[in-house]
Amino acid sequence: MSPSRDPSQARFVRVAETGRATVSLRVDARPVQAYEGDTVMVAILTTQGGLRDAEFGPERRAGFCVMGACQDCWVWTRTGQRLRACTTPVRAGMDIVTRLVRGDDDTAPMRATTGGEEALWPLA
Amino acid sequence: MAARVIVIGAGPAGVRAAEALVEAGVRPLVIDEGRRDGGQIYRRQPEGFRRTYAALYGTEAARAQRLHHRFDALRPHIDYRPETLVWNIREGVVHLANAQGASHAPFDALIVCTGATDRLMPVPGWQYAGTYSLGGAQVALKSQGCAVGERTVMLGTGPLLYLLAAQYVKAGVTPAAVLDTSPTRARLRALPQLLVKPAVLLKGAALLRTLRAAGVPIHRGVTPVRIDGDEELGVRGVHVRLADGTALDVPANAVAMGFHLRPETQIADLAGCAFAFDDAAGQWLPEIDEDGRSSVPGVYLAGDGARVRGADAAECAGRLAALAALRDAGVEPKHDDAARLRAELARFSRFAAGLRAAFPWPAHHARQLPDTTVVCRCEGITAGELRRVCTQDGAVEANRAKAFSRVGMGRCQGRFCAHAGAEVMAAALAVPLADVGRLRGQAPVKPLAVALDPAPYADVTVATQDNAASATPRSMELS
């Protein structure tokens, strides 16, 4: 099986090195296939358009410098670990969260334990 | 030579510095953030990837291969710490962190080869998902075999603008447009200086031929107006004003932008090195002599992290700095080619000055940014807020403006906003750019895990070499 890619939503385009073994992970509770040797950033952005919600603005973010300098690509694991997506290799079984949890949003992949209107980091 | 020598960075400068040290019988500690050596320019693809050197590095394939092979041969003779961050330097001690934890390493000589990142100019809308630095768009391709979008606009100025566009053409993802802020006349004026490296000029001409053959629209002398986008879906297009004053909209789902490079100087700053304002570069740069000695005895700066002169110059500067470190420690290097390296570096400096003139930093764009433009991408702080703290709150200097506005206080620590922010401040205060000052380096230079366990805070002991004539340096000890 080749890695998942929805052309209408993916941001990155694979142009080489597509013959590698695949690994399975979850992104916002959705099963995703990636290649061994992918960074977390590539695993996510070849299947969707964003990596995270900006904390200080309304927009989605998808990284910027891709070399560990800007820190605009940090994502969370479901267990609360933070990963810099551009420098972290993908591993099978990763469970990544790219959405901030908002207390008033039942559709968010996770519910914050404290609720409320304020945007919160995923806690559980 | 009883010296503990540390090299920070394993790009062209760091590798050549390590090579010169090993030649003299010194076993350096080489610390690098990357998973593999090569730095950004000669970044090695992950193990198991199969593209050839020619496919990855084009005209620079032979240079990249030489450097990688040299480093592979050096590996038994150095203490190499990849994926390791130097997050602070205090009183002759380097502080390290990696996935295993934290440690520190005292040194007698430190050679700082920290490289460069893109110099950025805000454009309204650059916070939208799908906006990348030119360097980032190149790393995605080289290191991961990915383009950052199906239709990418290359926006900004500098040699990397054209190199990246040509690399995307060759990868089969033809850019939507190349939009260069520098006018054609700047390039003509810079020609005499650029002729000092005719081979590099010819490579530039070849890039242009590649772009023209692929039908990529190229516009020079553009004024970026905005990146159009959607909060959820990201970039939708780029709007610029052309040199003749007409407006141009280019539909796109990605933007790669950059305006030449800026050196990564935080480590030099934390080491206590003196800085001076460089009028030609319009930047504060650490002071170095022609061999790379900083103002701090025992601390040497080489490569694009000290002066942006490109990868070939970095190889010269790295070796030159290591030779200086050896001589300062009383060791006569076996192959002392310092005179040749200095002459070569002088030519690279002249060429770099030519590139700065050909692809000038468009300071006037920063000064004219609309108040609503986000200057600080980390925390979404606008040009208007930065102007307000200058004119209303009395922030007359960069660090004060940072404290009041938080521009430069976010996670990137000012790497991508400080240059434009200083221009915005200088215009608001009506003072020369140098008077705004520069943001002080702060430890940690990048985020550290809060859970980092300081308990096994073992000293890393850098090998000492008591006999410079010995060809087999003593191995490193962990205490």
Return the amino acid letter for A70: C
pLDDT of B383:
98
CA separation, residue B442 to residues A92, B412, B431, B445 (Å) = 36, 11, 26, 6
Judging contacts by C-beta atoms under 8 Å, the chain B residues touching residue A58 are: 231
Count of structural domains within chain A: 1
Q: What is the mean pLDDT of chain B?
A: 93
Judging contacts by C-beta atoms under 8 Å, the chain B residues touching residue A50 are: 129, 232, 234
Task: Determine, for residues A66 and B140 on separate chains, whether the beta-carbon distance falls below 8 Å.
Answer: yes
**pLDDT band at residue B334, thresholds of 50, 70 and 90?**
confident
Which of B 89-118 lie inside 8 A of A, CB atoms?
A: 117-118
- For residues B339-361, average pLDDT: 96
Q: How far apart are CA B342 and CA B434, in angstroms?
A: 29
pLDDT of B451:
56
Residue A18 domain flag = yes
Q: Determine the residue among B57, B85, B120, B146 to mutate to test chain A binding: the one whose Cβ has the most chain A Cβ atoms within 10 Å.
A: B146
B415 close to A (CB below 8 A)? yes
Task: Determine, for residues B411 and A63 on separate chains, whether the beta-carbon distance falls below 8 Å.
Answer: no
Q: Is the ipTM of this structure higher than 0.95?
A: no
pLDDT of B137:
98
B285 close to A (CB below 8 A)? no
- pTM comes to 0.91
Task: Determine, for residues B144 and A42 on separate chains, whether the beta-carbon distance falls below 8 Å.
Answer: yes
Where exactly does CATH 1.10.10.1100 map onto chain B? Answer: 362-440
Return the amino acid letter for B130: G
Residue A31 domain flag = yes
Judging contacts by C-beta atoms under 8 Å, the chain B residues touching residue A86 are: 136, 139
pLDDT of A9:
82
Topology classification of domain B5-117+262-356+459-478: FAD/NAD(P)-binding domain (3.50.50)
A56 close to B (CB below 8 A)? yes
CATH of the domain at A96: 3.10.20.440
Residue A123 domain flag = no
Q: Which helix (H) or strand (E) holds B355?
A: helix B338-358
Task: Determine, for residues B117 and A67 on separate chains, whether the beta-carbon distance falls below 8 Å.
Answer: yes
**pLDDT band at residue A108, thresholds of 50, 70 and 90?**
very low
CA of A44 to nearest chain B CA: how many angstroms apart?
Answer: 12
Task: Determine, for residues B49 and A39 on separate chains, whether the beta-carbon distance falls below 8 Å.
Answer: no
Topology classification of domain B362-440: Arc Repressor Mutant, subunit A (1.10.10)
Topology classification of domain B120-259: FAD/NAD(P)-binding domain (3.50.50)
The CA angle B432-B264-B18, to the nearest 5 degrees, is 140
What is the token pair recorded at A103?
């207390």
| Residue owning tokens 């022609």 | B290
Q: How far apart are CA B53 and CA A49, in angstroms?
A: 31
Q: Which member of B47, B171, B377 has the closest CB to residue A16?
A: B171
CA of B98 to nearest chain A CA: how many angstroms apart?
Answer: 12
Where exactly does CATH 3.50.50.60 map onto chain B? Answer: 5-117+262-356+459-478, 120-259
A78 close to B (CB below 8 A)? no
Which of A 22-51 lie inside 8 A of B, CB atoms?
A: 36-39, 42, 45-46, 49-51
pLDDT of B477:
31
In degrees to the nearest 10, what's the CA dihedral of B203, B208, B212, B218? 160
CA of A3 to nearest chain B CA: how many angstroms apart?
Answer: 14
Contact (Cβ atoms closer than 8 angstroms) between residue B252 and residue B153? yes
With 80 as the cut, is the pLDDT of residue B150 above it?
yes
Q: How far apart are CA B276 and CA B255, in angstroms?
A: 33
Q: Which member of A11, A18, A72 has the closest CB to residue B130?
A: A11
Residue A119 domain flag = no
**Bridge partner list, B112:** B8, B301
Q: Give the side-chain half-sphere CA count within 13 A for B428.
A: 28
Q: Which member of B129, B150, B412 has the closest CB to residue A62?
A: B129
Burial code of B107-130, b = ≥16 C-beta within 10 A, e = fewer?
bbbbbbbbbbbbbbbbbbbbbbbb
Per-residue pLDDT of B231-262, as tens digits, reads 999 999 999 999 999 999 999 999 999 999 99
How long is chain B?
Answer: 479
B139 close to A (CB below 8 A)? yes
- For residues A78-97, average pLDDT: 95
pLDDT of B109:
98
Higher pLDDT, A123 or B376: B376
- For residues A3-13, average pLDDT: 74
Which of B 392-411 lie inside 8 A of A, CB atoms?
A: 410-411
Whether the CA torsion B69, B70, B75, B79 is positive or negative: it is negative
Q: How far apart are CA B28 and CA B26, in angstroms?
A: 6
Residue A5 domain flag = yes
Task: Determine, for residues B412 and A70 on separate chains, whether the beta-carbon distance falls below 8 Å.
Answer: yes
- DSSP letter at A90? P
Domain range enclosing A50: 1-103
A121 close to B (CB below 8 A)? no
- DSSP letter at A39? B
- Percent pLDDT > 90 in chain B is 88
Q: How far apart are CA B337 and CA B257, in angstroms?
A: 39
With 90 as the cut, is the pLDDT of residue A3 above it?
no
The lowest-confidence range among B189-193, B233-237, B302-306 is B189-193
A79 close to B (CB below 8 A)? no
With 60 as the cut, is the pLDDT of residue A120 above it?
no
With 80 as the cut, is the pLDDT of residue A112 above it?
no
pLDDT of B3:
78
The CA angle B378-B248-B191, to the nearest 5 degrees, is 85
| Residue owning tokens 């030649």 | B23
- For residues B441-447, average pLDDT: 92
pLDDT of B447:
87
Query: Read out DSSP for B278-347?
Result: ETTTTEEEE---TT-B-SSTTEEE-GGGTS---HHHHHHHHHHHHHHHHHHTT---SS--HHHHHHHHHH
- Tally of CB atoms within 10 A around A5: 16
How many residue pairs from chains A and B have C-beta atoms closer than 8 A?
152
Q: Which member of A42, A55, A59 has the closest CB to residue B129?
A: A59
Q: Determine the residue among A18, A48, A70 to mutate to test chain B binding: the one whose Cβ has the most chain B Cβ atoms within 10 Å.
A: A70
Task: Determine, for residues B446 and A71 on separate chains, whether the beta-carbon distance falls below 8 Å.
Answer: yes
Residue A113 domain flag = no
Per-residue pLDDT of B257-283, as tens digits, reads 999 999 999 999 999 999 999 999 999
Judging contacts by C-beta atoms under 8 Å, the chain B residues touching residue A20 are: 48-49
Which of B 167-226 lie inside 8 A of A, CB atoms?
A: 171-173
Q: Which residue of A has its CA nearest to B35?
A: A87
Query: Read out DSSP for B245-256?
Result: S-EEEEE-SEEE
